[in-house]
Amino acid sequence: MSVTLKPIPLTLQTLYADLVQQVQAVAERSASVYEREIKGIAYLYAKRTVGRTRRDMFLGRADDETVRDRAALINEESQRARDRGKVVSLLRNAGVPAPVSALAEVLDALDEAGLLKQAVVVGTAAYQCYAVPVGHALPAASLTTQDADLATASLALSAADGEETLETILKRADATFRPVPGLDRAALPSHFRSASGFVVDLLTPQLRRTDPNPMPLPALQAGATPLQYLQWLITDPMPAAVLYRSGIAVNIPQPARFAVHKLIIAQKRGGDTAKRRKDLAQAEALIAALKAADPFALSDAYEDAASQGITGWKRPLERSLAELGLAPDDLAA
């Protein structure tokens, strides 16, 4: 393996860690609070930007103390959001990876609906978040993506208000999002695509071979594709921040598990050589970074995965490592 990665300065790592802590603590999204009088009664509303849309949210009567308290919290959060936005800009200007607008807008819409608190972002959208946590800049070619994968272990996944469908939520990011019908036209869709070709997939761990595909998520009027290895990947996820606007709180797999998972999945791609190469490139970069930043996490993740089975786990791991010019001992701490 001949990957040389540039270290990320400790000052940027500290700024990012503080940002992660702050976005994870956000209870109310920032918005502009305003008053409107209807039939002689004053009501408070909040206008917020979500993806590409502006949403008006009814708060309640202006003379209601609870409503006024919530409006005050929103105003306070708006100031904190402006401060976080300066940190986001600083990190982006320093070269820390940020998502393309299509991905950022999708994540923003999912966040506003409360879905990112209940699920784990996986795939390249998660990989883009690893540079600062592993302390090294990652190859730009492996950061590009035209999709967003959201994994949930709970089939009760639902929007914060419990009523909105996934299609409605995604349309706030791009009004052209549509569900893509699967082979079973009666099944709920797990695949959504915009006119520009950006794709959002819902995923869930495969519990048994007889699991229906997709698994229904009735509250969102959507389905989730059951995948082997996914439960292992999303076990004990870590908090992260997406560098968009004032920062978006996400949960992503542990980087060592992500790297090892990519080694396995690369051998399951069949004839899809482009995705196979990308899997191996992402695994290689993270392995190089983790060897310097957290070698014990890397060796523990590899040993845990290899212990799950020979044919489906250990053998594909060894094959991918061989393609990268590595042996299992190279991942030992």
Instruction: Provide the residue ranges of all domains of the chain, joining segments of one domain with +.
Output: 32-92, 254-333
Residue-wise pLDDT tens digits, 97-122: 999 999 999 999 999 999 999 999 99
CB 284 within 8 A of CB 1: yes
To the nearest whole percent, how much of the chain has pLDDT over 70?
99
Confidence of residue 327 (pLDDT cuts 50, 70, 90): very high
CB 127 within 8 A of CB 255: no
Residue-wise pLDDT tens digits, 33-74: 999 999 999 999 999 999 999 999 999 999 999 999 999 999
Per the omega criterion (within 30 degrees of 0), is the bond before 214 cis?
yes
CB 135 within 8 A of CB 294: no
CA 261 to each of CA 50, 213, 281: distance values in angstroms, whole numbers, following the listed order: 32, 21, 13
pLDDT at residue 1, as a whole number: 55
Nearest to 51 by CA among 150, 146, 177, 138: 177
